[in-house]
Structure formats: C-alpha cells, structure tokens
Structure 1
Amino acid sequence: MYKNFLVPIAPDHGADSASALQAARLLADSDARITALTVADEIPGYVIQQLPEGLLEGTRAEMLAELKADLGRVTDVKADVVTGHAGRTVTDYADAHGADCIVIASHRPGLQDYFLGSTAARVVRHAKCTVIVIR
C-alpha cells in the first residue's frame, strides 16, 4: 500500500509507540521504509548561550540511543532525532523525506487540546500525505 512511513514517537516513548509501528508494518509494502522520529524541543537562543558546549549534541545522541533501545533488535525501522516544534517538524520531515504515510499515536484530547491543539491534530491538519492516528 505505502512505501515510505514516518512514525513520530514522543520523547517519553509512550506505550502507543509500539501500536503505531505495528500499524505501519501492517500497511507496508514488502519493500517499504519505516522511520521512527523523535522531535526534541527547540531551546531558545538566550538559554543555549548559558549551556555548556556540547550539551545539546550529547542530549540528542542520548535521545537517539534511547529510541534505538526502545526499537530493540528491529531491523526494518530507521531511527532519527531532530530538533524543532513537534507538529511543524513532523510535517516538514515527512515532506523532505518523501513520506507517503504518517502513523502517529495520540492520547484522548483534554480541554487544553481544544484551545492549543495536540501534535497529532496539527500533523493531521498540515500533512500533505496520508495520516493515520492510533488511539
């Protein structure tokens, strides 16, 4: 069905991540690519100036190692960590890497989500490809 999946995974690696990856595998063609993506929040410039040199790179490396550890010995999924605003960065990454389907886990929306919007809602509204939301 689809050839290039993007599966955004929250930095806390919620329990729904496995369900999203399983859904991507079920919808995938035999030669499909699946990328698990974690988006690290962007840190304002005035804060970065106060941080020790190399701290951000080290933190991203740790996040990538944790993501790979969560994936285990899975060989059909590529792991990546990028920095930015979660909703916008996921759709930008999907566009830049030619994703034809985004499979994203979502929590049940709370009152604050109706005013601010969850990451999944933003991805659904702005993605140029198919989006499947797992709840």
Structure 2
Amino acid sequence: MFKTILLTVDVNDFKGAERPAEVAMQMAQADGSALHVMNVVPDYGMAIVGSFFGPGHSKKILTEARTALETWGKDRFADLPEVHFLVDQGTIYDRVLQEAEIIGADAIVVGAHKSQLQDYLIGPNAARIARHATQSVFVIR
C-alpha cells in the first residue's frame, strides 16, 4: 500500500516518539516499505539570535541530533530492509513537507502533541502537516 514512509521524531522527546515509531515500523513491515526517520532542529528565527551562538554551532547541533537519532533508531528498526535517517534545520512542518516530496513519500507518520487540551488539539506542527500534505498523514497519539 505504501512504498515510502516518512516518520517524524523529536530527538528531545524519544518517549513521545515510541508509539509513532511502532506504528511506522508496523506499516513498513506490512508493506515492505522504505522508512525515512526525520528530525528537524528548529532554526533560530532571527539572524541576530543565530549570530549569538557563533560559527559552527548549527553544525554541532545537527551532528548531535543525527547521532541521537541514529543511536535511538539503529536497533529499533534493525528488522526493516531499508531505513534512512535524516536531520534537517528550519521550520518543522515546512521541512517535513519538503522532505516528503523529495523522497516521494506515500505516507507521513507524526506524533500528536500532548497538551492540556489533548482532546481538542494535535499540536501546531502535526496539524499543519496534516492540513497541507499531499500524502496520507497518520497522527498517532
């Protein structure tokens, strides 16, 4: 049913990523799909804020995020025939939607944001991804 699945993960909340990862893995196993696991590091918002951190800080953050993502996912997805890890920086929903197009994803799996109003809200990034994606989007609580 799905050839390529994009799973979004927050490396700062691996506990919250457990259920979406489990669902994405089951989907990939069932269909023999390629699984792309992605983390997006938010950008600084304003250039002046980024300049405060100095040269090389963004590269260091991206390297640390990639290491954390690969360490977390290496054993978890070991049974899948094709797994790719990606870390990018920018506006989360925008980068996820762009990456889904680049890899030709058939489905995107995202976790729902846990808020006090969790019966009503799924979180701003998950909502924007679901609203604007051309692919099927699975929002996992």
For the Cα contact (< 8 Å) 2:5–2:106, is it kept in 1?
Answer: yes
Task: State the Cα deviation string for residues 5-62 of structure 1 (Å, max 9, x = none).
Answer: 10011231342312212212222222x1111111111122122223322111011000
The letter of the residue matching 1:6 is: L
Report whether the alignment pairs 1:127 with 2:133: yes
- Going by fraction, where is strand more abundant, 1 or 2? 1
How many equivalent residue pairs? 132
- Secondary structure of the 1:50 match is helix
Contact 1:6 1:37 in 2 (8 A): yes
Deviation, 1:69, is: 1.4
Matches within 5 A, 1:59-98: 59-73=61-75, 74-75=77-78, 76=80, 77-98=83-104
User: Which whole-Å CA distance do the structure 1 matches of 2:114 and 2:57 have between them?
Assistant: 34
> Residue 36 of structure 1 corresponds to which residue in structure 2?
37
The percentage of counterpart residues that share the same residue type is 27
Q: Which blocks of at least 5 consecutive residues in structure 1 are unaligned?
A: none
Two-structure CA RMSD over aligned residues (Å) = 2.1
Alpha-carbon offset, residue 66 of structure 1: 0.7
Amino acid of the structure 1 residue aligned with 2:103: H
Match of 1:9 in 2: 9
Unaligned runs of 5+ in 2: none
* 1:108 shift after superposition: 4.1
- Could you tell me how far apart the structure 2 residues matched to 1:25 and 1:69 are? 16
